[in-house]
Structure 1
Amino acid sequence: MLLVMILLLVGLMALSVPVAVAIGLAGLVGVAAFSNLPLIVLPQQAFIALDKFPLAAVPFFILAGNLMAAGGISRRLVDLVESLIGNTRGGLPATCIVVCMIFAAVSGSSVATTYAIGAILIPAMVAQRYPAGFASSLQATAAELGVIIPPSIPMILYGVAASAPVGDMFVAGIGPGFLIAAALIVFVLVWSRFCFKPGDMPPKQKPPFLMSLKRSVFALFMPVLILGGIYGGVFTPTEASIVAVFYALVVSMFVYREMRFITMVDVLKRSALSAAIIMFIISMAGLFSFILTRAGIPTAISQWIVENFNSAFMFLLVVNVLLFVIGMFVETSASIVVIAPILAPVAAQFGIDPVHFGLIMITNLALGMITPPFGVNLFAAAAVGNVSLHRMIPYLVPMVGVILLCLALITYFPMISLGSLYLFGIR
């Protein structure tokens, strides 16, 4: 049964069938052909997969990110960071990384970060004679921080799928997020100094710091409000998503006054479409996971891993290779919902903390957003930068290498993830 379902799933995706539809059809075949369950199980399990309170945060964080982009919040963050490091060699690419990190602290979505920040910084980097392929590749890679820096939609999904505390996941994401951001900044500064030949490019006039700081005060307060409220126990991550929407709406319409009601309609449409796609994937992945669990597949996989790998080191190595391959072909949200319930219990048998394992999974699967053939960030950045994918690949390969190095450190040094929990007194 498993082989038929997986072959059908892979075959449908190879034919460019949408991921959610491919997962749902594979689940339908599993129920109809290989079990005596009634077909009413299909809608029941699809609904059960969505009937989880933390998932309510997903559409609100998507909406908050789109409001930030449309209301001028993201542009003010760019101006502030550029006023600090814009004139240094490699300063503009470093600005891209820092702004993505700040924007990710509210939006929770890498694709939203790609569109919102890329629309500003990819043309700016090209204007400074950085190769368009480099600018687009960097934007796609830096936007990956959207799912690692808290709050994060994949963290919410992992928490639901693996029964891990979402608040702890958010706090644990701080260390890995800063590590990856710092590594990318070092990379672009070195690359800009030794590999980039700007020629006679005139120096760019960076905006005055104090003016930029004054204009971005409300934008900077947004992640402080959201993250401070979560970590301070004022509201839950789900409630924080609603606060983020309300704050972004008020600032965009009544403080910066860059959003009108007609713009709001477009933002709502795009946010509803994005949220519907993610929820459809989650519901179909829940059905798929139910069928696998009923067939005893997770138990069989757990036993096979335990019998063949007798150390946590080898288990994590094999899991990372497996997740890297899966992430290249399956959307991140679907991968987490299907795989987390299978692998998290096995990791616990090896004494691996579930929160630490969640950060390993999310960091690894996030690489799928910037690796062909289904890298959503790649396609988004290519569209924004108006550049073909083959021009991005030569610049993308070393950036993926940097992320892989960070993944190795996150995997085998748990305190990178768990240190924040002890720092904030959660453990």
Structure 2
Amino acid sequence: MTAVLVVNSGSSSFKYQLIEMDTEQILASGLIERIGESTGASSHTVYSPAVEAEAEAEADADSAGETSEAEFTRELPIPDHTAGFAIMLEAFAEHGPSLDEHPPVAVGHRVVHGGARFYEPTLVTKQVEKDIDELSELAPLHNPGALQGIKAAEEAFPDVPHVAIFDTAFHQTLPPEAFTYAINADLAERFRVRRYGFHGTSHRYVANAGAEFLGRPVGELNQIVVHLGNGASVTAVRGGESVETSMGMTPLEGLVMGTRSGDIDAGVLFHLHRKAGLGVEELDELLNKGSGMLGLAGRGDMRDVIEAAQAGDGPSQLALDVYLHRLKGYVGNYYAQLGRLDVISFTAGVGENNALVRERSLAGLEELGIRIDPARNEASSRSTRVISADDSRVTVLVVPTDEELEIARQTLSLVK
């Protein structure tokens, strides 16, 4: 049996999954949070195959492969990431599964920003750690935490390879005309100003999963992948490669998001600085944490915004309209960039679960061969499914993303 441990570290928390790669089954997952606070918290969930004879007898497709789970939680001081990994190891030892029986052959780490330097799964070395640290100026909220997690994981698992999987890597196939900003070229090169794109692990997984579901080679398909969560992005995928994406040098550009503004005239910042007296830090806070749906509607969660809009709340209705207007514009833009479109896939929390957003973001595009089937779109399912009508020239899918599995696959492909 071949297991991979996947770690996603932030500055004050980290998530983990232990995945058995022969079956791609999750054996355990957990969250260590509030690191550095007076009281931290840990949760550890163990998964085991369901053994209900009725499910086997009925051979219900929706029941097949179900697992049972047990969660164990603790509250205790967690001074740093190293202590967090020690607590994680204690949870495995006490509650299972046994790491002696399922020893990870590698640890895969999610790292948000790899700049233009990292374009594939990368074995962690001291030099790679220095590079991740140096790239923290492009992702100050994300790379430092990832590096802390890597170093702590190396102490906990010193005898296995550690692999960095970069969110930006999938977008390293962007052509120069797509990643270049029209500013002074010398300044851009000196300070590494260009589009990098994010959510790449999810976009790669969904593009491949959609092609597999349709039984077609990914290399033959032109796809638009729509990742809609609290953070949101759209990617045009030609033949399995990213050729255009909505997020830019940072995750701020592009779609309207839960708390981020998305696209905005840069002159607005100068105006707010001159007239409202806002400084750099205040503008950063405004655009990243106080804008988007939260700024427009006072609500950052799409479910709350829709509920309020349907109850007649004007600001929430406007926020929803702005969100959908921007999203539809990106779909149309990327359709034009690709020239031919085979598949649109919705994924992530909003994309997978919100039928209204899916329907309204594609409404009016029937002349482009995009037609949603209302009943299919409204049907609830946790599986990959078609939601387009039979006469839709473009197939529209809902594809649940699995970034941890994608990280595990890429990690295993490197160490093998």
TM range (shorter): under 0.3
Structure having the larger proportion of residues in strand: 2
Instruction: Give TM-score, length-normalised by structure 1.
Output: 0.21
- Bigger RCO (CA 8 Å, 6+ sep): 1
Structure having the larger proportion of residues in helix: 1
Instruction: Give TM-score, length-normalised by structure 2.
Output: 0.22
